[in-house]
Structure 1
């Protein structure tokens, strides 16, 4: 067995190829909404899947060619709009998705031993495109890595400007469906047009949108706090922390909010993670801190966004408070939960329309200076992706980012794995606070989860 978390190098027998749509597709320019075309989304969402048994490359390429007929923008290329150099659009030219096939002297069981915490060596599981800039990278890049003993690792990189988490899940499920089923009928037909989220002809900015405005502090020590955190993030290496919360532990968190305040699993775990993160940093009490989290607005809009809409149909909710009010000695997760609920309640159709107009005028990035960002992957069905040889034994991000991810747990629909990279100096403290709500028996059980996680994820 490999003692290090590093994985061996993969090798390629052939150069990557372009997989094009199997039938003619519309030659058009796809407009991207202001929710799509945000500067902080100009990257690819990179998923990794581990399978016990390989699926033939010919079958995967054939079904990919079929599904790209339906999702033809993913076979196109991003470019700058001729009318507005600040905006991106998609040239639906059918150029194709990049598909690489690799081999690695590694087994499924060996990968499972190192799969709990992503590390830099995992990047070799996705073909590195030789590109001058972001626009030169195909919107869809795929690598299948064959393992010893017949297993495989599937990595996908899907441009975030074209799809959000729900959209990527919809596309991947469509590809898996056409691989494992004999018929060509998709469970959900994709809806391409983004004009439903077009800005107003006369901008109507009716909200303040704190998710994009800089954090302000009432006292001078807040400035020192921002400087302290900035220096910490730049000077220390980040290490991934991964904790699995079983349904019983999430229920225990939620019990801290009743009877006076009821909450969802996400609200409780988001508040708890935010508090634990801030507590571990030992920041000045007067410093203002934010929690940014994705909120699906497909059903918020009137009329609702069409079924099959796979573009970015989310906005960022923003909870904001001071360090003292969030983690003071007499506080618990209830305060954070209430802030999360209030942030969600603000997001109405009028709020989303105001945000779209705000981005049309200012094209700003979210304020990340004192923010924790949580992205919800746990309820997208990503862990069920079956290409005909069974569900994945592991699913997660290809790389560990500074954003916090709520990930699905294989075999446990209600479990959630929290993955987050933190400065090395505070990693143990962050883990301690994340487990601090538990009793002695639960903490002992948590140690068992941690040992099991290394074996089973």
Structure 2
């Protein structure tokens, strides 16, 4: 055990059980789409929701736990694939879910953390790891695709850690499940789950390979192309060399960034300009060689970019990667407007044809369609998913975070500030001060 791990607040597991669907569900195999089956999506989306201390009288923890477990069992009826198990199809073409009502994992625990511990970044990458104690390394080895952990903190607050297999759902789909799960846990939805909106839609065939289409060129999809490593890029990002950071941008700060590059009528989104500011600050702080090629990868929701649109309630991976690319020299020396325009162009490239090129590429090339990590900063926007609305009868979460803050940048919502965003990213320790100074300099 490392010194950092040994100094972490203690977490004690009280119970760990399988929760199965509360009603009978279909026993069959469900095929996952080509996008679901991508190698780089075979990991777990891990959310951490922190709730304020329960200060009112009459709160019975056992009652809360019972309601949450009951709500989980009920939510697994319409979302029964989350109670299944993922495996590779016998022909090796893609993944599938074996639906036999096997169940999701529920864990109850206690910990020495307090709610104030989550007002800033963790001290090291894995400090909050045990708030989702069952770490699913490989869902294809029979692990459950859904894990829920309710941890009671020492000051009466609560932490809810939730892990979803990314093979089965994306961020939008996972939060749709969480909203129903929360409603069923609080009794705000007492009728049959079949009546709620939106109804979960499987229909993964909608993102299957197009028959008779020629193999697309990857030159139009730089997210899958390798770049030359001029600086031993990945050696900078081992966990012991990283320091987690957390910086909040309120609405006024985002507006300042926008006005600094576009005082006219050009439409620039908060996501575009903040992503550009993060990317530029990160690259400048890390002092890459000017000729090092750098990429910013980010998810683009395709639900309404494909034709026809994906149906409301589709909870599979309705995303592809947007990719902005340039050299470190251009990114650090040119103005913020340059990086913002690269990101805007990367978003605008994603249309119906682009999506189907990606689907066909991953179907035809399989293991070769994996983004190369060299020169890459990956950014994920959680700030518009609705996580801040998920209430299990504990009130709305006061803090939201990834379970582990690592080299992937997460944009998070901020409690009571709907137009603000929190940026969480682990940066090589030797560059963290410079990165924070640049990021905070609006």
TM (norm. structure 1) is 0.87
Shift of 1:182: 4.1
Matched residue SS, 2:127: helix
CA distance in structure 2 between the aligned counterparts of 1:41 and 1:319, rounded to whole angstroms:
20
CA distance in structure 1 between the aligned counterparts of 2:293 and 2:267, rounded to whole angstroms:
25
Question: Which residue does the alignment assign to 2:365?
Answer: 362
Matched residue SS, 2:105: strand
CA distance in structure 2 between the aligned counterparts of 1:426 and 1:369, rounded to whole angstroms:
18
Question: Which residue does the alignment assign to 1:302?
Answer: 307
Question: Which residue does the alignment assign to 2:128?
Answer: 122
- Alpha-carbon RMSD across the aligned residues, in angstroms, is 2.2
CA distance in structure 2 between the aligned counterparts of 1:45 and 1:133, rounded to whole angstroms:
12
Greater CA deviation, 313-322 or 133-142?
133-142
Shift of 1:308: 0.3
Question: Which residue does the alignment assign to 1:342?
Answer: 345
For the pair 1:373 / 2:378, whether they are aligned, the reply is: yes
Shift of 1:138: 0.3
Matched residue SS, 1:13: strand
Q: For 1:1-400, list aligned pairs within 5 A.
A: 7-14=8-15, 16-52=16-52, 53=54, 56-84=64-92, 87-109=94-116, 111-112=117-118, 119-128=125-134, 134-180=140-186, 181-184=188-191, 185-207=195-217, 208-215=220-227, 223-225=229-231, 227=232, 229-234=233-238, 237-258=241-262, 259=264, 261-328=266-333, 331-363=334-366, 364-400=369-405
Structure 1 contact 204–354 (Cα < 8 Å) conserved: no
Structure 1 contact 205–355 (Cα < 8 Å) conserved: no
Change beyond 3 A, Cα 1:107–1:422:
closer
Structure 1 contact 254–262 (Cα < 8 Å) conserved: no
Change beyond 3 A, Cα 1:116–1:411:
farther
CA distance in structure 2 between the aligned counterparts of 1:102 and 1:224, rounded to whole angstroms:
46
Structure 1 contact 401–420 (Cα < 8 Å) conserved: yes
Matched residue SS, 1:390: coil
Shift of 1:290: 1.1
Structure 1 contact 44–157 (Cα < 8 Å) conserved: yes
CA distance in structure 1 between the aligned counterparts of 2:353 and 2:305, rounded to whole angstroms:
10
Change beyond 3 A, Cα 1:341–1:132:
closer
CA distance in structure 2 between the aligned counterparts of 1:118 and 1:312, rounded to whole angstroms:
30
Structure 2 unaligned blocks of 5 or more? 55-60
Shift of 1:129: 5.9
Structure 1 contact 239–422 (Cα < 8 Å) conserved: yes
Q: What is the count of residue pairs matched by the alignment?
A: 421
CA distance in structure 2 between the aligned counterparts of 1:160 and 1:118, rounded to whole angstroms:
24
Matched residue SS, 1:263: coil
Change beyond 3 A, Cα 1:106–1:366:
closer
Shift of 1:268: 0.4
Question: Which residue does the alignment assign to 2:58?
Answer: none
Change beyond 3 A, Cα 1:25–1:123:
same
Structure 2 contact 42–139 (Cα < 8 Å) conserved: no
Matched residue SS, 2:175: helix
From 398, 412, 431, the equivalent of 2:436 is 431
Matched residue SS, 1:211: helix
CA distance in structure 1 between the aligned counterparts of 2:376 and 2:155, rounded to whole angstroms:
44
Greater CA deviation, 127-136 or 158-167?
127-136
Instruction: String of CA shifts for 1:87-107, please: whole Å, max 9, x gaps.
Output: 321101100001111123444
Question: Which residue does the alignment assign to 2:57?
Answer: none
CA distance in structure 2 between the aligned counterparts of 1:351 and 1:131, rounded to whole angstroms:
31
Structure 1 contact 129–137 (Cα < 8 Å) conserved: no
